Structure 1
């Protein structure tokens, strides 16, 4: 029995390691190019404040995006990974529910936007298209959850960059096509997103079609009601978590007289946090079906949990500390309006990345364990704390205050998730792991200080790369990452 469990753990670790490398590399290449090659170019090209308005509307719609998903993605990934034969039975019902929820999300969000104050025709149309895009994005994620639930992790890794790859091509033509750049508008940008999502959805449906049997929409009241009731707790978790991570941008625009401009500054710094979160978000999606399968088979989750948190925090600590030391030159080199103020915003947001990355592991573990009620209370508290902090800090410090509120909120909610996971799943305390993480942090702080004060003539790229490389090498030296184990997981079998 023990030998069987050990063998299963090796298989899960190998699956995680191999697909983690693939999914991170693919997304760092494609999505980083999108964020800094396309998205950043759009912000620099448009008049100051126009992208800030888009960013505000995007986050406003994102808060209510859960209406279009209603937890179906996490519910489907978890249950399909445990009972893969249910695909043909549930998919037609889930797809029907998905389309109806998408329509409800669009109507509700547009009406709430009008009530909030987004009433001019141009803003209203922009919000409407953003709502459609966010529904299409959740539909892509729902289709991908079927790949992950079926154990097609490698294919899901490739599918994770499909929409952004298409968007890079479409938006790239609009930005750099002959005679098009001078006429570029924010509407072009959101319509390019629409096209990329639609093509991705058709390609995913085409691949899944042979596994679905007779594909058609189905509506059985009792079945739909049962599925909604089972997915509702997942929906509440996602909604609450989204609310306290996206309220800041909306509150900046509402609380400040120059809200659109301040939101523009916040968006420019948030883009780097968004890029950093690519790996964490994708690895969380990879971990969910793996954790769920281990819990279903009563296999120990400790080895995979430690592998995941060591990997997440090695990357998060190395990247965050490196960016914090060079935040101002990074912002001034990336943006036409970059300065020390936007650099300070970036420092607080990148500090936030450390607790956020920990939350990706322990929050995913709690979700796989269906420990949703206690998590919901944590996120309710997170929303309350975030709103209070934003009301206190934004009027006084502007977008910088929102970044500080985000760091405090994310840190407290992560600690609560960690405590819950240890209590509910009897996870052992790992003081040696904590000590090694602290040593890695100290090493990078010292190196960053030396590079920032003694090597002023060295190019930014060289110093930044030195910090990142030192973090990775330090992680191997401190046994946070074990080279022999990773090689055994990654080498062809």
Structure 2
């Protein structure tokens, strides 16, 4: 669903135009920052507690449901108030309220899905996880023949969110029975106190990922926010690989907390698993990233060039994460959440400071460079913390081999562009060459492959 939605959202951006889509992007960014912390960590807390204790749900659900409702209302009012302070007025402020209400309802939906996850109903949860996007995709495709406007797009998103919520609420009620609301303040205080660490982490990561788009629209223009959003969309899609693979290593690292040798082996193995696929993707984007904007028929060559340059800068940021994100996973799995949170907070402060200085002059390009600089900042911090706190040796040799492989791959892409100059053929030939490079640099060996084949 994610790749399909990236393609559809490109089409939406092209049809709405950069000014309208930039406005939507900024409104979504501000609401996402607030919505990311709106449940104050209660969703993660509930999933964790219900999985460990089946009695938690019937005891605390009568308090959690109304508490979530009050939190939604309070944070919606906060969103509108923040929007007014930021200078939004009239119709735009109304759009912000609609987008915010939809996001808060989505948060409530995630909260209800937590009950399904905790009871191991993963198939049902998987279907519900794509229902909203699938419905929205159909609604957007249905709007294309009659004309897609910002108002209609926001309306379609609201309909998709509301329908998904009604379906899920009915399903949860059918599975677990109707819950009588009974707000007990002692339970509410306990829940909020225990969930606060989750809320802090959500706020930090929400700010870190979304503040650029909001600041671009406010400090520069909606068009610049749209250019950045068009590039960042591909970053978000590719980074899904990291967010899929890294949780697996999180569990492995946590299991080997008291075995440094095992953690060492996991790190050296995980370094290659996490980094290698992204090396190819990043090299392709650096040399042929402009082809990812084939759907933008209403943008000028200058606008397409600006988005492509932002994309290439942002994919250097992806490359940095490909090399060093696993060190954050190692740290958080070994009870080093606090220093990691301080690093992320420092990155946010650096990002906001750089944005205030550079955005008015350089726009979306400055936002892309600032994102890259902040990624370098936290990555250096991860390495330092792993060395000082985790007591695990950093695999410098493996990092050097991966860096050499990336350099050779870039050389292949450069040569193929001069000789072939057709992006699809270049990508296929570079893919075959990359396999050879992995063996040449000893990142992958014949002996390892033989062991894997024997096990399978």
TM range (shorter): 0.7 to 0.9
Residues 269 and 316 of structure 1: CA distance in aligned 2, closer, same or farther (over 3 Å): same
Distance 1:78 1:228 in 2: 14
Q: How do 1:244-259 and structure 2 match up within 5 A?
A: 244-256=208-220, 259=221
Q: Give 1:53 deviation, angstroms.
A: 0.7
Aligned residue number for residue 370 of structure 2: 405
Aligned counterpart for 1:101 among listed residues 61, 71, 79? 71
Aligned counterpart for 1:278 among listed residues 240, 244, 255? 240
Q: 3-state DSSP class of the match of 1:437?
A: helix
Aligned residue number for residue 35 of structure 2: 65
Query: In angstroms, what is the RMSD of aligned CA positions?
Result: 3.5
Residues 162 and 298 of structure 1: CA distance in aligned 2, closer, same or farther (over 3 Å): farther
Aligned residue number for residue 343 of structure 1: 308
Q: Give 1:370 deviation, angstroms.
A: 5.1
Q: Give 1:375 deviation, angstroms.
A: 2.5
Is contact 1:240-1:380 (8 Å) kept?
yes
Aligned residue number for residue 25 of structure 1: none
Structure 1 stretch displaced more, 307-316 or 244-253: 307-316
Alignment pair present for 1:190 and 2:154: yes
**TM-score, normalised with respect to structure 1:** 0.79
Distance 1:93 1:291 in 2: 35
Aligned residue number for residue 342 of structure 2: 377
Q: 3-state DSSP class of the match of 1:427?
A: coil
Q: Give 1:49 deviation, angstroms.
A: 0.6
Distance 1:83 1:484 in 2: 44
Is contact 1:312-1:357 (8 Å) kept?
yes
Q: Give 1:344 deviation, angstroms.
A: 1.1
Provide, for residues 25-55 of structure 1, a one-character-per-residue CA deviation record: whole Å limited to 9, x for no partner.
xxxxx1211121x211111112331101111
Aligned counterpart for 1:331 among listed residues 293, 308, 330? 293
Aligned residue number for residue 274 of structure 2: 312
Unaligned runs of 5+ in 1: 1-29
Residues 370 and 229 of structure 1: CA distance in aligned 2, closer, same or farther (over 3 Å): farther
Distance 2:65 2:451 in 1: 41
Q: 3-state DSSP class of the match of 1:64?
A: helix
Aligned residue number for residue 40 of structure 1: 10
Is contact 1:436-1:480 (8 Å) kept?
no
Q: How do 1:118-157 and structure 2 match up within 5 A?
A: 118-119=88-89, 121-150=90-119, 156-157=125-126
Residues 377 and 108 of structure 1: CA distance in aligned 2, closer, same or farther (over 3 Å): same
Aligned residue number for residue 192 of structure 2: 228
Residues 358 and 155 of structure 1: CA distance in aligned 2, closer, same or farther (over 3 Å): farther
Aligned counterpart for 1:321 among listed residues 269, 273, 283? 283
Q: 3-state DSSP class of the match of 2:38?
A: helix
Q: Give 1:346 deviation, angstroms.
A: 0.8
Is contact 1:345-1:403 (8 Å) kept?
yes
Is contact 2:257-2:334 (8 Å) kept?
no
Aligned counterpart for 1:268 among listed residues 215, 218, 230? 230
Q: Give 1:309 deviation, angstroms.
A: 4.4
Aligned residue number for residue 461 of structure 1: 424
Is contact 1:326-1:464 (8 Å) kept?
no
Is contact 1:67-1:105 (8 Å) kept?
no
Is contact 2:257-2:263 (8 Å) kept?
no
Q: Give 1:298 deviation, angstroms.
A: 8.9
**TM-score, normalised with respect to structure 2:** 0.85
Distance 1:214 1:480 in 2: 58
Aligned residue number for residue 255 of structure 2: 294
Residues 194 and 442 of structure 1: CA distance in aligned 2, closer, same or farther (over 3 Å): same
Aligned residue number for residue 403 of structure 2: 438
